[in-house]
Amino acid sequence: MIASGTKDRGVLLHRRPYSDSRTIVELLTASHGRVSGVLRQSASAASRAELFVKYELSWRGRNELVNVSHCEPVDTYRLSGRGLFSGLYLNELVMRTTRSKQLVSGLFDRYLSALYALQDNEDLEPPLRSFERGLLESLGLAVQFDREMPQGNPIDPKQSYQFRPQQGFQRLPNNATGGMKGSSLLAVAKDDYSTSASRQAAKLVLRTALQDFIGEQPLVSRALFQSFV
């Protein structure tokens, strides 16, 4: 039975020791966004929070750190190998782009969908790129892969484009070299990552768009992944 207090579903993003018997936990919840709390550790399974597990949660308090009184697992996402490092990347990305008490519409469901897909541990790029796109959309900064700026005209599949953060895609002159093909951008707009060109374009654009939130400090999970592969 769930203890009284604020109730929600959530997942653990990060944890760190607070005392011998308590842990500070960073949670992503369905209805309350990011929540920072203190969880008392004991021998019972309901007192321990693990990564990539969906929980029924209950907490008390209105301060920056709430007291988590209940943490009951309801679903587990089994990640391993490259999928595990990708899951750590998702967690760090959410931690770096959101703040405590911030409710980001749709983010919780997008996160769970990504974890579900990462369990396959085969083709990881599509779920990662889809999550990055969804995260930007949830933050109100969706990248319009099917529109060129500044007029907002449809992307021409035969033209080449460059991406400018907070502005969008600008068409390059016909004699310009480099850039991204419009056909690749239109594929990304449909979440189609079946070609190397669309994958490369998606990775470049989304990393650039997220950089303002992430800042200059490198992502630890990205370095871990690179050392693993």
Per-residue CA distances from 91 to 146, 204, 210 (Å):
28, 20, 14
pLDDT digits (tens, 9 = 90+) for 104-128: 989 999 999 999 999 987 899 999 9
Which pLDDT does position 174 carry in this prediction?
Answer: 84
Q: 105 and 199: one domain? A: yes
Q: 31 and 97: one domain? A: no
Q: 38 and 134: one domain? A: no
Q: 109 and 13: one domain? A: no
Whether residue 72 lies inside any domain: the answer is: yes
Which pLDDT does position 26 carry in this prediction?
Answer: 96
Q: What is the pTM of this model?
A: 0.90
Whether residue 196 lies inside any domain: the answer is: yes
Tokens linked to 102? 């911030």
pLDDT digits (tens, 9 = 90+) for 126-155: 999 999 999 999 999 999 999 999 889 999
Whether residue 210 lies inside any domain: the answer is: yes
Q: 57 and 159: one domain? A: no
Total domains in the chain come to: 2
Query: What is the residue range of 208's domain?
Result: 81-228
Whether residue 1 lies inside any domain: the answer is: no
Q: 61 and 130: one domain? A: no
- Average pLDDT taken over every residue of the chain: 90
Q: 67 and 136: one domain? A: no
Query: Rounded to the nearest 5 degrees, what angle is found at the Cα of 117, between the Cα atoms of 106 and 187?
Result: 75
Task: Say if residues 78 and 85 touch (Cβ distance below 8 Å).
Answer: no
Q: 210 and 139: one domain? A: yes
Picking from 35, 54, 76, the residue at the C-terminal end of a domain is 76
Q: 97 and 54: one domain? A: no
